[in-house]
Amino acid sequence: MCRVTLDTNIYVSAFEFGAMRLLHMAIDGDIQIAISQPILDEILRVLRQKFRWDGYRLHDVKQRILGFSTLVEPAQALDVIKEDEPDNRILECAVGQSTKLASPALEPITLCWVTIPVPLLATGNDWP
């Protein structure tokens, strides 16, 4: 099974605009989504501030996300992406869980592992 970490924009697109394909794949058991608390917090912040979601909707979406994903604790802090610092939280989760990364801003990035577990970021057009 493919393990993935999704960028905040993918969750927002799914819940605000109905682009649910990746989330349905997780619900159906075709992929496994890893999410960290900082990513979850960012999703809720964006939905609250930019789309004016109320507390009830935010609570509901939080429970839905936790229902089809695995909450993980990243092992290390990263400061690689200077242009959009919160994207470092996405990388931290992906690196720590050896997942593929789905991000409109960074797509397509695949994490590859070297002999010692040091992540090497490589781009390409082979993103599924």
β partners of residue 120: 112
Query: Which residue ranges form the domains of the chain, and what is each CATH number?
Result: 2-103 (3.40.50.11490)
Amino acid at 3: R
Residues 72 and 103: their CA atoms lie apart, in Å, by 18
Angle between the 87-97 and 37-51 helix axes, to the nearest 10 degrees?
A: 150
Q: Are 97 and 33 in contact (CB under 8 A)?
A: no
Q: Collect all residues with Cβ–Cβ distance below 8 Å to 21 and sequence separation of at least 6.
A: none
Residue 48 is predicted with a pLDDT of 98
Main-chain phi, psi angles of 7, to 5 degrees = -70, 155
Binned average pLDDT, 10 residues per bin, the chain of 128 residues = 85 92 90 93 97 98 96 86 83 71 46 34 42
Residue length of the chain: 128
Residues 117 and 128: their CA atoms lie apart, in Å, by 24
Residue 38 is predicted with a pLDDT of 94
pTM recorded for the entire structure: 0.74
- Helix, strand or coil for residue 29? coil
Tokens of 23: 């989330």
